Amino acid sequence: MTLPPHHKTSATLADGREIHFYDDQAGRRREVVDTRALPPVESGSELRWDPTVEEWVVMAAHRKARPADAAAHCPLCPSTPGAATEIPAHDYDVAVFENRYPALRSTDGGPGDPGAALAMPAGGRCEVMAFGSEHETSLARMTEQRVRTVIEAWADRTRELNALPEVEQVVCFENRGSEIGATLAHPHGQIYAYPFVPSRFERMQRAARHAHARGTGCVFCSVLKTELAAGHRIVARSRHWTSFVPHAARWPYEVHLYANRHVPDLAALTEEERADLTGSYRSLLRRFETVAEAPLPYMALWIQAPARGERELGHLHAQVFSDRATPLKPKRLAAGELGAGTFISEVEPERAAAALRAAETWPAAPEFAGELVGVAAR
């Protein structure tokens, strides 16, 4: 399916924050006027260094003041004459704006040398991405054209945020479902531009570095090759993308969606790869909606190369996971898992992959059906 290029309109909200509209169809023109009287954004966030594990912790007490979800006053629904929201438009396709209650807020530089200070202002950027005007839906249920616009917006924001001097890592993510921690029911995600490489991503970089030092090449390419050879954990495959339940899955349902080509981030994808991702990603989310008797809450995030330095080690992929095997049975993390960091999984990855393969994706996913059946039967 060939989709028209997105059209972008940028404006400024009443308190000076940026907002960007991405339209499904090119050529749309809009006037953006925020009529609210808003005080300046004050984050007060602080980075604190934990030398015992060598990682940053973000202190953001001001976020307790952010509003909870209420259908009558949803901040992500379009503005109306009697109710102005965060989005000053009567309708929209995709909108991205700076968070009014950010955990990270731009400063003059990054976190600096952790050996020089144990605390400092938290730089970076936090953005909210609303996937559309409609309140009662999900990204999985949106049109293929809309999912493509979301992907284009992710790629554009990744490119622009990577260019900011204080940014070291851009992460696009979604928390879907109040059961898993989403504070707003409106379909949306977030983008965090960190002023440091988060510890889990740093461990991935270290693993990739070690694999290159051993002469085995990209560790992610090796994982993809191994999963394709094994076959029974593959969920779906298309010309440019492969989704699978990882060999060492931590969550009851956990799927990784890998670019078949070694590519650093969303901004580096070709036109054909983005078009193919549209169907592959929507199909994956639909499996999470249909694999159980009710849609599973999930978390999804894109793992991209850092903004600068060793970008060649990164291999673009998404991780989508749910903390429950059924809607009513959440996995509770115990002290050994949260405290020691060692997960104990009670769901066989191979069984989860079989269930996800069989899940309805309405309509059929753009996978290589014959090849996939052969792979799964091995």
For 93-105, write each residue's pLDDT tens digit: 999 999 999 999 8
- Please say whether the beta carbons of 244 and 233 come within 8 A: yes
327 and 313 in a common domain: yes
348 and 208 in a common domain: yes
334 and 278 in a common domain: yes
For residue 1, tell me if it sits in a domain. Answer: no
Q: What is the number of domains present in the chain? A: 2
239 and 152 in a common domain: no
- Separation of alpha carbons 216 and 237, rounded Å: 24
- Please say whether the beta carbons of 123 and 105 come within 8 A: yes
Which regions in the chain score pLDDT beneath 50? Answer: 1-3, 369-378
pLDDT number for residue 364: 58
244 and 184 in a common domain: no
For residue 365, tell me if it sits in a domain. Answer: yes
For residue 141, tell me if it sits in a domain. Answer: yes
For residue 2, tell me if it sits in a domain. Answer: no
CATH number at residue 61: 3.30.428.10
159 and 219 in a common domain: no
365: which DSSP letter? -
180 and 259 in a common domain: no
234 and 328 in a common domain: yes
Domain boundary among 161, 196, 231: 196
Q: Which residues pair with 20 in a beta bridge?
A: 10, 96
283 and 181 in a common domain: no
224 and 81 in a common domain: no
Catalytic residue chosen out of the listed positions 188, 240, 256, 317: 188
- Separation of alpha carbons 282 and 289, rounded Å: 11
CA distances for 181 relative to 68, 234, 313, angstroms = 11, 28, 32
- Please say whether the beta carbons of 237 and 223 come within 8 A: no
φ, ψ (nearest 5 deg) of residue 353: -65, -40
Cis status of the peptide bond prior to 363, with omega within 30 of 0: yes
218 and 165 in a common domain: no
CB hemisphere CA count around 313 (13 angstroms): 18
Domain boundary among 165, 196, 227: 196
Nearest to 284 by CA among 375, 178, 174: 174
Predicted TM-score (pTM) of this structure: 0.92
Helices 349-358 and 369-376 cross at an angle (nearest 10°) of: 150
CA distances for 137 relative to 92, 285, 290, angstroms = 15, 13, 15
170 and 60 in a common domain: yes
Specify whether 188 is catalytic: yes
Q: Which residues pair with 171 in a beta bridge?
A: 192
CA distances for 3 relative to 61, 131, 139, 363, angstroms = 43, 17, 17, 18
- Please say whether the beta carbons of 66 and 76 come within 8 A: no
| Residues whose CB falls within 8 Å of the CB of residue 261, separated by 6 or more in sequence, listed in order | 240, 273
pLDDT number for residue 113: 56
Instruction: State which residues form the domain around 339.
Output: 201-376
pLDDT number for residue 82: 86
For residue 58, tell me if it sits in a domain. Answer: yes
Domain boundary among 174, 196, 218: 196
For residue 134, tell me if it sits in a domain. Answer: yes
